Copies of this chain bind each other. A is one copy, B any other.
Amino acid sequence: MAVTVVGSVAFDALETPYGRRHRILGGAATHFSLAASFFTDVRVVGVVGDDFGPEQLAVFDRHGVDTSDLARVDGERSFFWSGRYDAEMQNAETIDTQLNVLATFDPQLSPAARDCSVLFLANMQPDVQRRVREQCPRAFAVGLDSMNYWISSARDSLVEAIRLADVVVLNDAEVRMFTDEPNPAVAVRRIRELGPRVVAVKQGRYGAALFTDDGFFAVPGYPLELVVDPTGAGDAFAGGFFGYLDRHAGAELSDNTLRCAAVYGSVMASFTIESFGSERLAGLTLAEIEARFEDFGRMTRFDGQPAALRSAGG
């Protein structure tokens, strides 16, 4: 069992009310793979420039992530994103985006990368997502993320990519934009009618919602008093989610397994935003992960008492 993730490995420049980082390791595939590495074997497929050096590679190595499908292009630079968060820490203002090596990214996966049990197509051009998906016929679960840019500029292609996915992971603004439907439950139903069995809706500080054949499940956001950098929360959610699925689902995705996956996803997202970039995950222990998973249980449990209503008792 192994997860293959395909997407951006990048440098980020970040500014939040709690500090700045001028050039740190980022990218959707980075945050995903580091989070997933706590659960299963992970192989990252991507492309970087010659500004990506031993220091960045060492981050993946320390987490046991296989980087043999990470291509390095000499004479070019890695994808770069620069963003700023306000005090609310919910939405980033993009200051600069430099595609660089990502502009022509269209990977041919190695046999090992193709032989994955779980495939995650991180946010990228949807035609590329489709071509990657076709290279991995054995995956029992294919996840897909996207963003507003592709919804508006490549909608038809994104529809086709979504048809090939089992689990769509989007935030609530993207769900609304993709379907042009303001009611979240109706919007998700329309996405599921395209083919995916599962839609996981990321809701920022409010947590995440899961829509499956068996119905609706919600996990709240972890009530952190200090959020340092929200970057990568959604990708870390997906990393925990699919990492857990790969380890536990086998070929069938039971509803409880999907629910636990969403909770582990929320656990990984909550740790990621406690520090800049991948800093918090670097020192994270398995005991901390399990303790926070149990926190989510305590945060959501209630035991109904019989005879709650008026007529039932007097």
State whether the Cβ of A247 lies closer than 8 Å to any Cβ in chain B. yes
Which of B217, B227, B294, B308 sits near A299, CB closer than 8 Å?
Answer: B217
Q: Which residues of B contact A244 (CB under 8 A)?
A: 308
A54 to B290 alpha-carbon distance, docked (Å): 59
Is B308 a contact partner of A225 (Cβ separation < 8 A)? Answer: no
In the complex, whether A111 has a CB less than 8 A from a CB of chain B is no
How many copies are assembled? 2
Question: Which stretch (A101-109, A155-163, A255-263) binds chain B?
Answer: A255-263
What mask results when residues 196 to 224 of chain A are scored 1 for a CB within 8 Å of chain B, else 0? 00000001011101010001111111011
Min CB distance, A33 to chain B, in Å?
Answer: 13
Query: Are the CB atoms of B220 and A302 closer together than 8 Å?
Result: no
| A218: B residues at CB distance < 8 A | 207, 220-221, 299-300
A227 to B289: give the CA distance in the assembly, Å. 37
Q: Which of B189, B264, B302 contacts A217 (CB 8 A)?
A: B302
List 4 additional contacts besides A207-B220, A300-B300; criterion CB under 8 Å: A40-B310, A218-B300, A256-B302, A286-B309
